[in-house]
Amino acid sequence: MTELQAHVFKHRHIFGLEQMSREDIEFIIATARSFKEISNRSIKKVPTLRGKTVVNLFLEPSTRTRLSFEIAAKRMSADTFNIASSTSSTTKGETIIDTARNIEAMNPDVIVLRHSSSGAPYLLARHVACPVINAGDGTHEHPSQGLLDIMTILEHKGSLQGLKIAIVGDISHSRVAGSDIIGFTRLGAEVWLAGPATFIPYGVESTGARIAATVEDAVTGADVVMALRIQKERQQDPLIPSLREYAIRYGINRRRLERAKDDVLVMHPGPINRGVEMSPDVADGTWSVILDQVTNGVAVRMALLYLVIGSGKDNQEPGEG
């Protein structure tokens, strides 16, 4: 029995890492690793999801996540259809439930949903027969980003057990932070958070993460430093005095990074506000694995699609059938 056949993946929907065990997460990453080499072939396509229909329902702006899911589906020969907020009937007043019912009537095999409201994937799943994959809901979770972040760290460090991971920035509004904190701690890492008090959610310590008094404290001795985007679109009122002050007090620059371990990894879920969350020389430096994150995103999303609508339910080896 191979590593991929040893675990039974029971999740019909992908709502978040909160519902997943350590074994589930490791199984998804192992499945993604088996798919990653497909993207390096001269013909980047396998028949794994031939005849399956994937609907990317993105009711909030997205570039890399939507494209990553579309590439993932097409590399497994699925038919993909993209619905954006600007072209959706929700702009005419249609509810997400009515949108879901109309899409359901066309018999998709899976709906990949991004929505500005936390919990929207749960609501959608109650009204459709097919699996739903959360591509980011409000300030709740972004599970595929969390998984690709874990995969990227594992590729460079081998394990998350005992690592110190510093997450710096807008924790309150980041669904990436929501998934990363759960995933990192579940795999044994020590997660430290830093940022303005207005960016640190009340009670976040209950997740197992620790709050650092300063960015310097969070970064010192860190194996991984991740900066987060300031999500101004989710702030009704400005929560920081200015971007310039934020960059001075919380931006990840070379001087701060020198406090971390010599082999530190620098990560960012993108898009980057260069010179604010991270200086350009750090974003493009030898520590940076930001583009590795993007590459691994396709492999992780291939794995998720395979596990919910492909032969993954039967633990058949990827690429078969």
Q: What is the 3-state secondary structure (H, E, C) of 179-231?
A: HHHHHHHHCCCEEEEECCHHHCCCCHHHHCCEECCCHHHHHCCCCEEEECCCC
Those residues whose C-beta lies under 8 Å from the C-beta of residue 269, and which sit 6 or more positions away, are 142, 145, 149, 174, 176, 226, 228, 229, 293
Task: Give the span between the Cα atoms of 157 and 141, in whole angstroms.
Answer: 24
Residue closest to 33 by CA, chosen among 267, 263, 257, 306: 306
92 labelled ligand-binding: yes
268 labelled ligand-binding: no
Q: How far is CA 96 from CA 57, 85, 102, 179, in A?
A: 10, 11, 10, 24
229 labelled ligand-binding: yes
142 labelled ligand-binding: yes
CA 34, 39, 40 angle in degrees (round to 5)?
Answer: 100
270 labelled ligand-binding: yes
CA 261, 196, 150 angle in degrees (round to 5)?
Answer: 45
74 labelled ligand-binding: no
145 labelled ligand-binding: yes
Structure-block tokens of residue 116: 């500005």
162 labelled ligand-binding: no
259 labelled ligand-binding: no
Sheet of strand 79-84: strand arrangement: 79-84, 53-58, 110-115, 132-137
Those residues whose C-beta lies under 8 Å from the C-beta of residue 207, and which sit 6 or more positions away, are 181, 182, 185
186 labelled ligand-binding: no
Binding residues: 64-65, 92, 114, 142, 145, 175, 229, 270-271
Binding residues for L-aspartate: 92, 175, 229
Binding residues for carbamoyl phosphate: 64-65, 114, 142, 145, 270-271
